[in-house]
Amino acid sequence: MFKEKTMFAAFVALFAILGGAFVVLGDTDDSDAASVHNGTASMTVQQGATVSYTWAQANSEITGDLCSHTYEIGVGTTISPAPEGGATVSGITVTYSSTGITISATSAAAVGTYYIGFYDMTTEDDSSHSSFTVTAPSSGTTEEDLSFTTTAPTQGITGSSYSYSPATNVPANFSKSGTWPSWLTLNTTTGQVTGTLPTVQSSQTYTFKIHAVSKTLSSNTADQTNTIIVYPVATISATGGNTVSGITGQSLSKSLSCNLSATFAVKSGSNSLPAGLSISNSGVISGTPTQSYSNYKVTIQGTTANNAGPVQHPTIVITFNITQAEDTLQITSTQPSGIKKVGDSVSYSLAANVTGTTFTLVNAPSWLSIDSNNYIRGSVPSTYTTQQDITFTIRAQSPQGQTATQTPTITIQPTLKFTSKPTAECIVIPIYSYADDGTVDAGIIDDLKEGFHSVTDRRIVGYQFVFVGTNADSVAWDFGDGTEGEGFTVEHTYTAAGTYTVTCTATNEYEDDHGNTVTGTDTCTVEVTVDAEAGDYIYSALLIFVGIVVVALVLKLLVSRRH
């Protein structure tokens, strides 16, 4: 037995000196598991590559224990001391399975020889070691096909920053390929793509292509075409503006819209909608307000749909002015009516039971208007040559939109034009007094015939002068005692007895045969005798008047009997 162990030790020493081509990866004899073995396997891996070797290729002796033992692998750069279980080297990864060993080396792994230590977790002993070499790729060397391992962002919002750092399965350099959007840049050192998303009014699609070339094998390339959809900033607008005006008890509606597909609701923390109003998911504010509000603000928030890009939450502030309902509108002023002549002024005051009511005229003649004080004013023009009834409408409107109307009618009489100068004729009617105190109690009007212009009276009481001529615009009187008067009928009292000549002057403007307007006058006279002592003649005049009446009645009776 001693001889056999001596021979085995010599073999191991010789094996270590030769540094041969085989490696002992395991030993079923636990007493030998802790000894250092210099692996002899010829395993090679290139920078940036991954290779696998079977246990036979690795010349391992641990295959018989794989089913019953668990190993922790360590990687190092020396055999003495040997790498402990779990030790690592930058850029190198070693794993094992029941079929063999897999070694991966990145481009950052240093070229050189490395050692693998297998620590038996079952026996807690270093079980075996092996070695491998990392080499730099040479011309004609192959590596796995280059491919991108990251994906660029596919959507964003106007004005937001864009950033993408591409990565590949093997180290590579990056560059632009084809036409890129002007707002994107590529850092050729780091490969990072950056930019600010452009302003768009609706969603726009942009594409850009990145070209990758392996750092170790220039023929190993790959392209990545990226697509990004840029969405506009979501905004909310209100039909007819951001103010809602209404009246209690009357329904109202206000529609909101978003430039992207969205749903709407009152924003959390905002004032609630006025009592009686609600908002639908589609953005319609509607209902019948039950209370009054002044400058009441509510914030409405939208939430964009999933198919409208990144979720946004635009807001809009709606101001509510709800007023209390008015009384039923009525026009309280009396509507215009009556007769107006050419040249007459028209003035009617308008009023209503609701404060702030405004008035307008509908189908009124152009010479009528309403001034700032709500008066209908105007002057009848001379264009009317015949009598006409002018009917129009007064329309009142309250601040809340109620309306009421009146339909007045005004009769217009034209000014008559004379075609000849006036004819002056007049009569005088004495005024008698029967009372003891001398006041006028009654008057006697004689049945004056044409051509009778003289009345004699002995009482100083008074006289009525009446114009009975034609075509006069105006009449002037000279009473013969130094006094004058105007008018178609006037009264005058003399202060002294005597005979007075009264002159009546009629005046007009008429159109002659040539169409010219000329002034015409005519005069007539009448004598009045005043006698202060002729009071007894009153009774004589009365008797004569009664006699005439009696005779007339008798004649009428006789005639009726004959028939």
- pLDDT of 300: 97
233 or 562, which is more confident: 233
**b/e 127-145 (16+ beta carbons within 10 angstroms → b):** bbbbbbebeebeeeeebee
Q: Is 443 exposed, middle or buried (0-12, 13-18, 19+ CB in 10 A)?
A: middle
Residue 388: which H helix or E strand, with range? strand 388-391
Q: Do domains 236-323 and 339-413 have the same CATH topology?
A: yes
> Is residue 83 a contact partner of residue 76, using CB atoms and an 8 Å limit?
yes
pLDDT score for 440? 42
Say whether the peptide bond before residue 81 is cis (omega within 30 degrees of 0): yes
* Burial status of residue 463 (CB atoms within 10 A of its CB: 0-12, 13-18, 19 or more): buried
pLDDT at 88: 87
- Write the pLDDT tens digit of every residue in 6-46: 444 444 444 333 333 333 333 334 433 333 344 556 788 77
- From the list 541, 448, 562, the residue with the least C-alpha distance to 554 is 562
Domain ranges of the chain: 2-135, 155-231, 236-323, 339-413, 426-543
Percent of the chain scoring above 70 in pLDDT = 77
Q: When comparing pLDDT for 441 and 234, which is higher? A: 234
In this structure, which CATH number among 3.40.605.10, 3.30.450.20, 2.60.40.10, 3.40.50.2300 belongs to the domain 155-231?
Answer: 2.60.40.10
- Rounded to an integer, what distance in angstroms lies between the CA atom of residue 394 and that of residue 151? 75
Q: In what order do the strands lie in the sheet with 463-467?
A: 442-443, 426-432, 463-467, 489-492
Residue 519 to residues 419, 420, 425, 471, 508: CA-CA distances in angstroms?
11, 9, 18, 12, 6
Residue 454: the pLDDT is 40
Range 426-543: architecture per CATH:
Sandwich (2.60)
- In 43-190, which residue ranges form alpha helices assigned H by DSSP? none
Q: Half-sphere exposure (CA, 13 Å, Cβ side) for 220?
A: 23
What average pLDDT score do residues 97-120 get? 80
Residues 55-73: tens digit of each pLDDT: 777 765 555 555 466 778 8
* CATH 2.40.10.480 is the classification of domain 236-323: no
pLDDT at 141: 58
Single-letter amino acid code for the residue at 134: V
Q: What average pLDDT does the structure give for the chain?
A: 81
What angle is formed at CA 194 by the lines to CA 188 and CA 196, rounded to 5 degrees? Answer: 150
- Model confidence over 161-217: pLDDT tens digits? 999 999 999 999 999 999 999 999 999 888 899 999 999 999 999 999 999 999 888
Confidence of residue 526 (pLDDT cuts 50, 70, 90): very high
Cα dihedral 135, 140, 142, 145 sign: positive
Average pLDDT over residues 490-508: 92
Q: Is the pLDDT of residue 53 over 90?
A: no
pLDDT band of 127, cuts 50, 70, 90: low
Residues in the chain: 563
Helix, strand, coil content of the chain in percent (nearest 5): 10, 45, 50
From the list 229, 227, 278, 283, the residue with the least C-alpha distance to 259 is 283
CATH class of residue range 2-135: mainly beta
Query: Which one is the CATH code of 339-413: 3.40.50.1000, 2.40.50.140, 2.60.40.10, 2.60.120.620?
Result: 2.60.40.10
